[in-house]
A and B are shown apart, each in its own frame.
Chain A
């Protein structure tokens, strides 16, 4: 669709010419030389940013990105960091390591996201841990924790197995009791570092809670991370090909361990609050004895928690 013919009919011609002139004049007035003067001596934030943009678009880009990486305007600092981020490589890493300590949260955010590319480096992991523990912004601490998340597992269900060519039947579906959860909140978000998921973790101090949103059970205003643990006994072994944990609804994100082993996660943001998900537990389930299920839940808005039933489903 061509916007132009419609608009030319409607324009006030005089106004159009005036404004078009102002835009062009603004662009024409700014040369690289003038830009350097403005950046060096000017106080006008808008003019300085326009000047920096010009320098970044010219052959002088790298020099400008170096020179103004520590500029007094945080948006200029961030734009310089962005230049390096696009460049990548060792030069980028150097700037990222500096910028992660910037006093402006927007600069630190970009630096943190940039450092994720280098998370395989031990020194970067150390930086991320430091951010996770001590950045003044809770959002950044959470992001760092997510980047530093030590548990990885790809969910592979029986139905996704390309070698499985048979119909899948549910042999037994065991609903876990609604009222046997133990619960604690984790505002610092470091429960995974305190081994809350471990099979032998002592959860005696945790509170009882039922399936249902935690806001209705005494944690009315809490948004953040919380943990659930439950002990349940499995029957004697049933002839089967797979065992899956089926969660009908966790509001809104969940990370799951069974008997201390990480099964996987359901983390698609707030939209995940009402979506059923399954995790394979074939190798981790213990037949004929007690099992310990641990669920780390993140709720960022409105209600939170394991609010619909959880099942162990035996498949063949």
Chain B
């Protein structure tokens, strides 16, 4: 039915539209229009045609076998659309769909029952329709027409409110935030000018907390955003903010969450349910903000992102922006070969300044739009872009290289690596090349800065930081999927890397050591490590081979491409990585860890125990000990494995390249099993003098060296240093021991592990007369790692004993199930005390003749963190005032022995509930000083400060009267 274009059919203020209808049978259309005066329902964001932004429409959109109510509104220069919840509608049955519209919200009712209530931030009144209204069809065409019958329609004005009040920013605040501001949007929908109106805001039930009022002068149909300062010294919880303006009131939910204390981030590299992730122990997850191309001046667009941040933060989850905007422009800036053609694998020419211009502009807009929100805590920048990068032969890279080196790009350069050395005419027989070798110089430049990615990551990081809060951090991964050369990730705040646990989960430790080596080039950067919580099916339980006793999960997920890892692998990998000095940990594979109903992803949930294992570990290890884990220093690299840049690019066959595969990586595992605690160093470490600290230098697959590194190694030998080479080592190095590389047999993981362990044991035995490692254990599967602070040692012990179980062991590819282990650890030092920092108690040991022995019993996949000291801990004292005031800070000092000690700290209110500021910390240099601020709206009375030493389990308590 078509009407003439009556102005009344586009109401100027609030209105309701109700239609009665019956659906026909067997509808194929994706959309059914009930009412349309808009025509172009969702114009392009940059559309300037005012016709496209006038009138409104009401439709039902198909969602599978359901129908979703949707409404579209035009405002003259922009449009908005909202959708309700999908509903199943039966053909032939009468229904009533009602739309209630106001500039601040839209409500849908189906048969009188509320379907959805959606906030709206209308920029003004609806623009009068330029098209006539059509009921049951689309203006201007008939292919979205109603299929069925419309039996009635009623359009009514609703009571015109004077103003609409809604949030214009976040409604979640962190306790004790500095100068937080609440932003409210006020829209004048009264039809007349508002003059000298007063806007007040008050937290319900807290009249004593005064929020200054604001004056309001607003023309009709316009809006303004008012800011109100908020006192954030509030107890965490939900509050109602009562706002009054021009006789209208609104009650808006506002939430305060507890401030973070010294946390150890646990990041989900993915997107999922905030609450479920929090329950597992995660603190951060990824989300998409920059990719929506935010406009900080467009409140409507920004608000949706703010609400997403609010929703996450109210569950205590911080969001990290997954900045991958480059994907939308990469086809316009492809890397090109010498022939000027795109490489088969498309990769963006990051060296083209235009890409940086565009992407940093988006980054800065994103920072402006969301940087003020504390939940917008960081960003992942352009993950995994280097794998497809190759030298690009537009003018940018060749010109940049000429400027850098004075040279042209060498003629043999056609890809991301030079030809192997044995294919390069004139390559020295000695395989020792000068530091200024033309190919070495080119590729060193290209990998560090030349392809443009590292500088671009840095530029985007700086742009994102521009309007972000202190503590915002950016990261790049996978940071070591490049040759061993400092500088990966550019100036991002943190580097990370993911790896898989199969077949040997301690390879996570090998990969982490690569990260620490990369970090050597930028010590200010943080380092984190990610574990993939899934396995490739073909590497764990290959399809095409059904075992005789199949596991239960195979019945429900026979075709799964990626399956959950086993809980014991997760545990071993966690212990392996936290035994290194990291600033946080990450996991990828949400739907392998958390069951997702109707999961359509390729990552399948095949082992429920995996998530439970992570929950236990975050609760028992990460949260209590995280503050300590971040602080214990690494020891000097007594046994160092060289990953040489020259060797990697000219002889790639042994290189790990961040994948943890190949002889160099397996050699590292063997040394771990031999209790030799290998570190990884680069050529650059050697050029900076690290060999003065090294006792044993291991050279797996080091086929090429530069002259200065070669000479440094020879000098190291001359000074008594020990070198272990292999059959690939450059011939100019006469090693003390020559290793015969162990060949990995994928089909025989047990035999390979045994061979590698034997190999490691043999190396240790040969070294015995020349090098005394700091520790030993009587079982190769009892993997140890030592960090030290002064005379205090922190020993990580991990049970790496595995067997084929009944999860995937039937395939014989990966030993996935842990086995209990009892063993003895020997440290080459005397001990006066040993503490178990996970169980918070002393442990038995014996100590004499510069040696101490510690027996351990580890559960499957289990780990321990032991603290070994010259003397038992004796000191723990609290100093605090006897009284304090609510809302006012007071200082508490805990004095301990002069070692790094993990402490649990609780401030309990008179009801015995932990107050914000409670948590886990680390005393340093014998002291932990903290400023506590009890919330303004807390209870007066006698509070308790309870501090527990997580080494010996002792507790001290102090009362404090707070009023």
Interface string of A4-35 (1 = CB under 8 A from B): 10110111111110110011111110000000
A116:B429 contact, CB within 8 angstroms: yes
Given contacts A106-B727, A271-B419, contact A49 B734 (CB under 8 A): yes
A10:B788 contact, CB within 8 angstroms: yes
Given contacts A1-B523, A19-B772, A269-B420, contact A117 B429 (CB under 8 A): yes
* In the complex, chain A residues whose CB is within 8 Å of the CB of B420: 268-271
B688:A114 contact, CB within 8 angstroms: no
B422:A85 contact, CB within 8 angstroms: no
Residue of B with least CB distance to A12: B788
A113 beta carbon closer than 8 Å to chain B: yes
A15:B419 contact, CB within 8 angstroms: no
**The one of B486, B720, B731 that contacts A26, using a Cβ cutoff of 8 Å:** B720
B888 beta carbon closer than 8 Å to chain A: no
A202 beta carbon closer than 8 Å to chain B: no
Bound-state CA distance A85–B732 (Å) is 10
Given contacts A19-B638, A57-B718, A269-B423, contact A1 B788 (CB under 8 A): no
- Stretch touching chain B among A75-83, A122-130, A181-189: A75-83
A302 beta carbon closer than 8 Å to chain B: no
- Looking at the assembled complex, report how far the CB atom of A280 sits from the nearest CB atom of chain B, in whole angstroms: 16
Residue of B with least CB distance to A23: B720
A190 beta carbon closer than 8 Å to chain B: no
* In the complex, chain A residues whose CB is within 8 Å of the CB of B636: 7, 10-11, 16
Bound-state CA distance A190–B951 (Å) is 71
- Looking at the assembled complex, report how far the CB atom of A166 sits from the nearest CB atom of chain B, in whole angstroms: 17
B718:A1 contact, CB within 8 angstroms: no
Bound-state CA distance A86–B707 (Å) is 13
Bound-state CA distance A4–B787 (Å) is 17
B766 beta carbon closer than 8 Å to chain A: yes
Interface string of B610-639 (1 = CB under 8 A from A): 000000000000000000000001111010
- Looking at the assembled complex, report how far the CB atom of A252 sits from the nearest CB atom of chain B, in whole angstroms: 11
Residue of A with least CB distance to B581: A10
Residue of B with least CB distance to A272: B419
Bound-state CA distance A75–B731 (Å) is 9
B430:A268 contact, CB within 8 angstroms: no
B718:A75 contact, CB within 8 angstroms: no
Residue of B with least CB distance to A107: B731
Q: Give residues 905-954 of B contacting A (CB, 8 Å).
A: none
B167 beta carbon closer than 8 Å to chain A: no
B721 beta carbon closer than 8 Å to chain A: yes
A242 beta carbon closer than 8 Å to chain B: no
A46:B766 contact, CB within 8 angstroms: yes
A24:B719 contact, CB within 8 angstroms: yes
B719:A12 contact, CB within 8 angstroms: no
Bound-state CA distance A1–B525 (Å) is 13
Residue of B with least CB distance to A29: B720
* In the complex, chain B residues whose CB is within 8 Å of the CB of A106: 727, 731
- Stretch touching chain A among B241-249, B359-367, B446-454, B735-743: B735-743
Bound-state CA distance A106–B721 (Å) is 24
* In the complex, chain A residues whose CB is within 8 Å of the CB of B708: none
Residue of A with least CB distance to B690: A3
* In the complex, chain A residues whose CB is within 8 Å of the CB of B685: 3
A76:B734 contact, CB within 8 angstroms: yes
Residue of A with least CB distance to B520: A1
A86:B688 contact, CB within 8 angstroms: no
Bound-state CA distance A82–B842 (Å) is 57
Given contacts A1-B684, A46-B770, contact A23 B689 (CB under 8 A): no
**The one of A3, A26, A56 that contacts B520, using a Cβ cutoff of 8 Å:** A3
Q: Give residues 52-78 of A contacting B (CB, 8 Å).
A: 52-54, 56-57, 75-76, 78
* In the complex, chain B residues whose CB is within 8 Å of the CB of A16: 636
B828 beta carbon closer than 8 Å to chain A: yes
The main secondary structure of chain A at its interface with chain B is helix
Greatest chain B CB density within 10 A among A85, A113, A267 is at: A113
B396 beta carbon closer than 8 Å to chain A: no
Residue of B with least CB distance to A57: B718
Residue of B with least CB distance to A86: B430
Residue of A with least CB distance to B733: A79
Given contacts A12-B793, A27-B720, contact A268 B419 (CB under 8 A): yes
Bound-state CA distance A225–B735 (Å) is 35
* In the complex, chain B residues whose CB is within 8 Å of the CB of A7: 636, 693
* In the complex, chain B residues whose CB is within 8 Å of the CB of A110: 429, 731
B791 beta carbon closer than 8 Å to chain A: yes
B96 beta carbon closer than 8 Å to chain A: no
* In the complex, chain A residues whose CB is within 8 Å of the CB of B732: 82, 86
A2 beta carbon closer than 8 Å to chain B: yes
- Looking at the assembled complex, report how far the CB atom of B633 sits from the nearest CB atom of chain A, in whole angstroms: 4
Bound-state CA distance A269–B417 (Å) is 11
Bound-state CA distance A26–B791 (Å) is 26
Bound-state CA distance A75–B734 (Å) is 7
B805 beta carbon closer than 8 Å to chain A: no
* In the complex, chain A residues whose CB is within 8 Å of the CB of B633: 9-10
Given contacts A76-B734, A106-B727, contact A267 B693 (CB under 8 A): no
* In the complex, chain B residues whose CB is within 8 Å of the CB of A75: 734-735, 738
* In the complex, chain A residues whose CB is within 8 Å of the CB of B809: none
B62 beta carbon closer than 8 Å to chain A: no
- Looking at the assembled complex, report how far the CB atom of B746 sits from the nearest CB atom of chain A, in whole angstroms: 14
B414:A275 contact, CB within 8 angstroms: yes
B789 beta carbon closer than 8 Å to chain A: yes
A114:B523 contact, CB within 8 angstroms: no
B706 beta carbon closer than 8 Å to chain A: no
**The one of A12, A24, A268 that contacts B423, using a Cβ cutoff of 8 Å:** A268
B635:A10 contact, CB within 8 angstroms: yes
A25:B735 contact, CB within 8 angstroms: no
A274 beta carbon closer than 8 Å to chain B: yes
Residue of B with least CB distance to A10: B633
A50 beta carbon closer than 8 Å to chain B: yes
B542 beta carbon closer than 8 Å to chain A: no
- Looking at the assembled complex, report how far the CB atom of A47 sits from the nearest CB atom of chain B, in whole angstroms: 9
**The one of B429, B523, B714 that contacts A113, using a Cβ cutoff of 8 Å:** B429
Given contacts A10-B635, A19-B638, contact A85 B430 (CB under 8 A): yes
Residue of B with least CB distance to A116: B429
* In the complex, chain A residues whose CB is within 8 Å of the CB of B720: 22-28
- Looking at the assembled complex, report how far the CB atom of B250 sits from the nearest CB atom of chain A, in whole angstroms: 56
Q: Give residues 447-489 of B contacting A (CB, 8 Å).
A: 486
B828:A15 contact, CB within 8 angstroms: yes
B688:A19 contact, CB within 8 angstroms: no
Q: Give residues 630-674 of B contacting A (CB, 8 Å).
A: 633-636, 638
Interface string of A261-302 (1 = CB under 8 A from B): 000000111111011000000000000000000000000000
* In the complex, chain B residues whose CB is within 8 Å of the CB of A85: 429-430
Interface string of B510-532 (1 = CB under 8 A from A): 00000000001111000000000
* In the complex, chain A residues whose CB is within 8 Å of the CB of B790: 12-13
B695 beta carbon closer than 8 Å to chain A: yes
B772:A22 contact, CB within 8 angstroms: yes
Residue of B with least CB distance to A44: B769
* In the complex, chain B residues whose CB is within 8 Å of the CB of A15: 635, 774, 788, 828-829
Bound-state CA distance A143–B689 (Å) is 37
* In the complex, chain A residues whose CB is within 8 Å of the CB of B737: 46
Residue of B with least CB distance to A80: B734
Bound-state CA distance A16–B635 (Å) is 10
* In the complex, chain A residues whose CB is within 8 Å of the CB of B688: 1-3
Q: Which 9 A-B pairs have the closest CB atoms?
A: A10-B633, A27-B720, A23-B720, A26-B720, A268-B419, A269-B420, A79-B734, A113-B429, A12-B788
18 interchain pairs, CB-CB under 8 A: A1-B486, A3-B688, A3-B693, A4-B693, A7-B693, A9-B633, A10-B634, A10-B787, A11-B635, A11-B788, A12-B793, A15-B829, A19-B772, A49-B734, A82-B430, A85-B430, A117-B429, A268-B412
Q: Please give 9 more A-B residue pairs, beta carbons under 8 A apart, in addition to A13-B791, A110-B429.
A: A1-B523, A3-B685, A15-B788, A23-B720, A49-B735, A57-B718, A79-B731, A106-B727, A268-B423
B residues apposed to A, CB below 8 Å:
344, 412, 414-415, 417, 419-420, 422-423, 429-430, 486, 520-523, 633-636, 638, 684-685, 688-690, 692-693, 695, 714, 717-721, 727, 731-732, 734-738, 766, 769-772, 774, 787-791, 793, 828-829
